[in-house]
Structures are given as structure tokens and as C-alpha cells.
Amino acid sequence: MEILEMIEKAGVVGAGGAGFPTAVKLAAKADCYIVNAVECEPLIASDKYLCRTHAKEILFGALTAAKTIGASRIVIALKKTYREEIQSLEKAIAETKAPVELFKLAPFYPAGDEQTLVQAILKKSIPEGGLPLDVGAVVNNVASVYNIGQAVQGKPVTHKILSIVGEVAKPVVLTVPIGTALTDCLRRARPLLKEYAVIIGGPMMGRLVPEKEHLRGEVVTKTTGNLLVLPPDHYLVRHAAVPIEKLKKQAMTACLQCRMCTDLCPRHNIGHRIDPHIIMRNAFKENLLDDNAYLKAFGEAANCCSCGVCEMYACPMGLSPKRMNDYFKGQLKAKGLRLERNQNPQAIANIEHRRIPTERLVARLGLSQYENQRVTPVNVDPKKVKIPLSMHIGAPAVCVVKKGDAVSCGTLIGEKNGKISANIHSSIDGVVVQAEQGYVEIRKGEAK
């Protein structure tokens, strides 16, 4: 079987959040293959754990993927502050003599943003709305790379490495079957408060669940990498609750036009046309969105990657350019409006002077007390799992099992449906107890 077929068969998708089918991404030719082990957002600890514990498997996955795309340069990118992880990867490189270089970035946010990362490594900016492939590179998250290595050894994606940090008695890094309830995972970390909020992902771009009751029904997917437990009155929770109409009024009345949001915007600084201060200035002209004269101002919102630097760090007035951009992005999409894309962006000179030190960002977010929490590794062995048939970009997989079927860990339960889709496998041994409404529920035990 061809390597791409094995990766497709194993259901490998982008594990860093996007969930794009990896076999489709690797069906290309590029000079440079980049493993993104930067772990972009503060506090997350899952990719670092993988680098410390599975360095040789990561190298194997990277060599496999690089061979597939014909890359002559293989780079693992991570932050220079990840001392143990660098040590572990350097040892593995020395022992295997793998032709892999480590690219050590300064600890800034968002170092792991694909476009920022490629510009830092290749010194070339990706065109607006483009892909790393446009400048000769393919990028995979380190957990996807690990899964690529497993796939070519016939092992499908069944488990996830997931850190739980924040307001907990025991910060953990779980190795957990996909489909495990998030409430089950959280119990292992022992939250310190009776009531709490959870961010699924990182503090800057993760999805906020404001009350623990709303976690019911949420499960570990192929893209879940971290849970951040917070007090319900934490700044991040209160900030996310402000409605868009109020944010619009704030933009119209309180923006100083100091342009700090634009000067620190990572996409602006790699040369993309995104000037959040201009969008804020024009917020009161929303009714002119269709007017060509204003399309330049509003159309730039499409180049925003929602990293949150502008509103969580840059703005001295506590305004929300990111959420205004998100809002206008939605409006532009609904009206089918699009600014012509700049195919030849150029990064500003001395770009490194405009980068946000992660430590300062953590302090600004009110998260310093959770920084550098040491995570304990724990294997989770749930009695049941509820596996979604859609954990990826593209069409949901088609269920191929029915109630009462006996399955083992690794049995195919959902078959990819079209080019952009992914296979789904059982993550435990057991019996199918439900197979409907986009989920397959499996319980441990024998079939009757």
C-alpha cells in the first residue's frame, strides 16, 4: 500500500486544531517539510509532552512525510525555551542520524501560527489567503506527524494526548481514547472550584464553555489538545460574554486610533493587508459595507487569523478589534464580498521587534499563577466512548457499524465520504450501543 493510502486509511487529520485530512495535504510536492512543535498558545502542555516522550516516533513520521512530498529540508520548529524537549529531540537525531534540523524560535505569541512560522523559517511571506505550499513548504502539527508514523505501521488514530491545566489540584497530561467525555477527563485533574469555566484549547483561540454544566455531551476529538480550567469570574470569561452590539458601540466611541492593534498584528507584520485600527475607525459605517469605496477597509478583515493579539494584548482601551474583524468577516462572507488578494506580501523590517513575549502575554491575561505547571502523565481507560463521525474539515464519515456490533480498538466505524473527509475508528474494545445522529457510542464488554 502507498504511504498516502496508509495515512488516509488510518484517519490522520491535522491534530493542532484544524482537522484537515493529512493525506490530502501531503499529496503535493514541496522543498521544505516543517513539523510544528511550537505549541503556540500559552499553558498548553500536550505537544511538549509528545516531544519529550516520543522523539524517535516523531522523527520517523517526519521522514515519512518528507519523503512523500519530496522535501530536501526537514525542520522541527519549537521554542528555544523548551529545553527538555530540545534535548530529547537532539538525542534522537544523533542516535538515528536523521537529516532533521531543529529551528528554535524565541518564546513569542503566535510563533506557531502557520503563516508566522513559515515566514520565520523561510524568510518568505505566504500570499494573502494562501498556503505554505505557495512558498514551497508543507507544515504539520507534531501530533499529526506522530500519527503519520503510526499510520504507516498500520495503527489508526484512536487516542489523543491532552493536557489539563489551570485551576486544578493535579495538572495532568492524559493519553485518552477519542470519544471520552470531557467531564471524565476533568475529574483526573481535580478542579479546585465547585463552579468553573473551561476553555477547550488555549486561552487566546480556544472555545470557552462558561459553565461546567454545558460540558455535558462534550467529548475528546482528534483535535482536542488542552482544557484550561478557570474561575467563572476570570477576565477571559467575562470578556467573552460581552455582546457584539456593545463591542460595536465601544469601537465607535472609545477607540483612540493609536494603532497599537495594527502595529502589533502578526499578519500585518508579515505584509498582509490587515489594519484593525482602520476597521475600528469605520465601524460606524457598517451600512456602507457594499460600497466599493469602503471595501478596502472592511475587506481586510478577511486577512485576520483571529489570534487575539490586538484585543488581549495591544489595545490600551480594552477594545475588541479581533471580534469586530470576526463580525465583519461574517458580513463579507454573507454578502459574497472579497478584496483582491495580495500575492506578494513583504514582511516589515525588524519584525522580531514587534513580537509579543509569551510571558508578558500570560501576565496580561491574568494567568501567571498557572504558568509552568508540571503535568503528571495519566492513562485514561473509560468504560464508554461517544465518537463523533465528524472531527475534521470536510464531509462527515459514513457510519459502517450498527447497534450490537462487537468492535476492537482500531476497528473502522466510520468511512471517509469523498475527497475531503476522514476515516474514524473505535478507540476501545466493546459493543456498539448507539450508532445515530452523527455519533457511535461504544461500551466495554461482550456482545450479547
Q: Which residues bind ligand SF4 (CB under 6 A)?
A: 255-261, 265, 267, 274, 276-277, 280, 304-310, 314-315, 317, 319, 321-322, 325
Cβ-based nearer residue to ligand SF4, 92 or 264 = 264
C-beta of 366: minimal distance to ligand SF4 in Å? 19
List the beta strands (DSSP E) in 167-281.
Answer: 172-177, 197-200, 207-209, 226-230
d(C-alpha 389, C-alpha 407), whole Å: 16
Q: Which residue, chain included where needed, has cell 470531557?
A: 182
Cβ-based nearer residue to ligand SF4, 77 or 264 = 264
List the beta strands (DSSP E) in 49-130.
Answer: 73-79, 101-105, 108-109
In 123-222, alpha helices (H): 142-151, 182-189
Cβ-based nearer residue to ligand SF4, 322 or 425 = 322
C-beta of 257: minimal distance to ligand SF4 in Å? 5
Cβ-based nearer residue to ligand SF4, 234 or 259 = 259
d(C-alpha 51, C-alpha 63), whole Å: 15
C-beta of 428: minimal distance to ligand SF4 in Å? 39
C-beta of 329: minimal distance to ligand SF4 in Å? 10
Cβ-based nearer residue to ligand SF4, 20 or 109 = 109
Q: How many CB atoms lie within 10 A of CB 187?
A: 12
Cβ atoms of 388 and 438 within 8 Å: the answer is yes
Cβ-based nearer residue to ligand SF4, 257 or 368 = 257
C-beta of 15: minimal distance to ligand SF4 in Å? 23
d(C-alpha 221, C-alpha 389), whole Å: 10
C-beta of 253: minimal distance to ligand SF4 in Å? 11
C-beta of 245: minimal distance to ligand SF4 in Å? 17
Count Cα neighbours of 366 within 13 Å in the Cβ-side half-sphere: 11
C-beta of 247: minimal distance to ligand SF4 in Å? 11
Cβ-based nearer residue to ligand SF4, 137 or 315 = 315
Cell of 58: 516523531
Cα-based distances in Å from 24 to 10, 80, 195, 414, 422:
13, 31, 42, 18, 10
Cβ-based nearer residue to ligand SF4, 138 or 280 = 280
Cell of 279: 476597521
Longest dimension (CA), the chain: 69
Q: How many CB atoms lie within 10 A of CB 277?
A: 23
C-beta of 108: minimal distance to ligand SF4 in Å? 13
Cβ-based nearer residue to ligand SF4, 215 or 260 = 260
Pairing of strands 424-425, 384-388: unpaired
Cβ atoms of 114 and 267 within 8 Å: the answer is no
